[in-house]
Amino acid sequence: MKKLILFELNEVPQKIIEYYCKRRPQSWIALHYSQFKKFNSYSENSHHLNPWNTWPTLHRGVDSAVHQILDLNQDLSGQNKHYPAIWDLLDQHGLSVGVFGSLHSYPVPAQLNKHAFYVPDVFSPSEECYPSRINAFQSLNLSLSRKSARNVSKSIPKGKLLELAIKAPMLGFRPKTIGKISSQLLQERKESWKNTRRRTHQANLSFDIFYKLLSTTKPDFTTFYTNHVAATQHRYWAATFPDAYDQNFYDDSWIDTYDGEILFALDAADEMLNRLDRFILKNPAYQLMIASSMGQDAVKARLINSQLYIENELQFFEQLGIAEVERLPAMLPQFNYKLSRENLNRFSSIANQVEINGKPLRYRVHDQGVVSIEMGHINQREINMIVRGKLISANLSGLKNVKIKDQSSTTADHIPEGILYTYHPSNPTSHLHLNVVPTREIFSSILGNYEVSVPDYAPKGSESIF
C-alpha cells in the first residue's frame, strides 16, 4: 500500500500540460513528465459538465445520473449515505485522511474519527475547519472568493489580513509566498489588470497551509484542490491560443496583455508539485496522483462587456411573491438560494412563467429547499423581466448588467477528457500511452490501493493506474 496525495488540478487537459512542457522545458513538470504514468480520464456524466458534478463522480465512483450532485451547496445527506466520498470510506476503514478544498466537502464531519485535517471548499457557507486554527484563513479565503467571482475585487480586507498575519507562523506561510504577494500588490499599482493574478496567489496561500498540515500529520490519504489554472483557461485561452478559433474577436493588444496568464498559473502549480516531490523523497511511502476530473478546449473568442446578474436577491424574489430567501455561495453565473418549503412551492409554481430578456428562467430545484438559477446573459443593453406576462421595472427586478473589466468571455469550456497521472520519484522513464480511464473508475483504483473492497454500485476498473 502506498499513501496517496491526490492533487486536484481542476479542468486541466493534456493539451495544456504538453504546451507547458514546451514553453517551460526546465520546469518540474517537464523534467519529470517521462516518469508519469499517464492516462486520459474521461467523464461519462450525462449532465452538462461542471466541476461540481465531475468531481463527485471521481470521489464517489458513480456518474451524475446516479449521484445527482448537480449544484453547489445541495443537501448531500442522501448521497453521503448511499455513495459516500472516498475520504469517508477510507476513514470508516481506519485510515487517516486529510481533505483540503475538495468540492462538496462542506461541512466538517461531526465525527472526525481519524481525520488528520479537514478544510472544506471555497463555496462553503461558513469558515469552520479542522483544526480550528485554519478558520481565520478560511474566513479570508471565502471572502476573497465571493468578492472576485467574476471581476477581481481591488479591496483588501485589512482586518482579516491582520488576524491572519498574527497566526501566519503556525499556519505555515512561507516568506517566499508573502514576498510574492507583496510584489503582486506593487505591480497592480503600475498595471491594474494584473489583479486577476490574485486568484493564483490565493491558491499559493492555500497550498502553504496544506503543505504544513501534510508534513505534520502525514495522513494515509489526502486531497488538495485548486481551481486557479482552470479560471485562467476559461478567460484567457483566446490569448494563449489565438488561432484556435474560426474568428477571434480580441485584438492584438488584449492578446499581448493576457498571453502569459495561463503560464503564470501553471508556474504556481508546477512549484506546488515540485514541493510535493521533495516531500515524497523524504517520505517514500507516498505516491502522487494528479487528476483534473475533465478538461477544457476552445469554444468562442468574443468580447464580453457585461453580464446580467442577480444583484439584489430580495428585490428579485419579491417579484415572485417570496419575501424571505438566503443566498448560498456559487460560481457565477450560477446563483443558489435556500428557501423555506412554502416558498419553494411558490417558486416552483411561478418559475416557468418568468422570462429574462426574452428567455425562460433557467433553474433547478433540489431537495431541502435549494434553488439554482443560471444567469449570465451577455452584452445586454437593457433589463426586461416578465412575470406571468407582466413587465417588471428594471429598478425593481434586482437584476444588474455588471461590467466585465477584462472583457474575457468563456473562451474555453468543459470537455470530458482530462488528465490522470501517477508519480513516484522511483518510477522508471515510461512511454506516453494515455489509455482512457472513465473518471468513475478512479474511485475503485484508489480503494484498491488500500485493499478496501469496492462497493457493488461502483465499477471495478479495468486498468491499474498505479
Instruction: Write out pLDDT tens, residues 443-466.
Output: 999 999 999 999 999 998 766 788
> Do both 385 and 351 map to the same domain?
yes
Q: How far is CA 358 from CA 305, 324, 353, 379, 385, in A?
A: 20, 26, 12, 14, 8
Q: What is the pLDDT of residues 304-316, one digit of tens each?
A: 999 999 999 999 9
142 in the same domain as 214: yes
So what's the pLDDT on residue 143?
A: 82
Of the candidates 345, 378, 403, which is a domain's last residue? Answer: 403
- Phi first, then psi: give them for residue 41, nearest 5 degrees: -75, 155
- Both 420 and 445 in one domain: the answer is yes
What is the CATH classification number for the domain harbouring 131? Answer: 3.40.720.10
Nearest in space to 271 (alpha carbons), one of 162, 394, 129, 176: 176
Reported for 270-275, long-range contacts at CB under 8 A and 24+ positions apart, including other chains, are 270/20, 270/24, 270/27, 270/28, 270/29, 271/28, 272/7, 272/204, 272/207, 272/224, 272/226, 273/7, 273/28, 273/29, 274/28, 275/207, 275/211
CA distance 234 to 299: 10
What is residue 427's three-state secondary structure?
Answer: coil
Q: Answer whether residue 408 is part of any domain.
A: no
**Residue 463: inside a domain:** no
Q: Is the pLDDT of residue 148 over 80?
A: no
Look at residue 431 and tell me whether its pLDDT is greater than 70: no
Banded pLDDT at 147 (limits 50, 70, 90): low
- Considering the domain architecture, whether residues 140 and 190 belong to the same structural domain is answered as yes
Indicate the number of domains in the chain: 2
Q: Indicate if 27 and 70 belong to the same structural domain.
A: yes
- Is the model's pLDDT at 336 over the cut of 60? yes
As a whole number, the mean pLDDT across the chain is 92
Residues 186-206: what's their mean pLDDT? 91
Evaluate whether residue 465 is within a structural domain.
Answer: no
264 and 363 co-located in one domain: no
The reply to whether 382 and 336 lie within a common domain is yes
Q: Are residues 356 and 430 in the same domain?
A: no
Domain, as residue range, for 320: 306-403
Q: Using only C-alpha atoms, what is the Rg of the chain? A: 22
Query: Do 385 and 357 belong together in one domain?
Result: yes
Are residues 177 and 317 part of one domain? Answer: no
Q: Does 31 fall in a domain?
A: yes
Show Cβ contacts of residue 295 under 8 Å, excluding neighbours closer than 6 positions.
Answer: 11, 12, 13, 14, 15, 16, 414, 415, 416, 417, 418, 419
Note whether 313 and 294 are same-domain residues: no
Task: Please check whether residue 236 lies inside any domain of the structure.
Answer: yes
Pair 115, 98: CB distance under 8 Å: yes
- Is 454 a domain residue? no
In order of 33, 213, 218, 427, the CA distances from 283 in angstroms are 21, 14, 9, 15
pLDDT for residue 207 is more than 80: yes
In a domain, 459, yes or no: no
Cell numbers representing residue 268 in the block: 504556481
State how far the Cα of 181 lies from the Cα of 172, in Å rounded to an integer: 15
Query: What are the distances in angstroms from CA 261 to CA 178, 197, 465?
Result: 20, 8, 31
**269 plus 389 within the same structural domain:** no
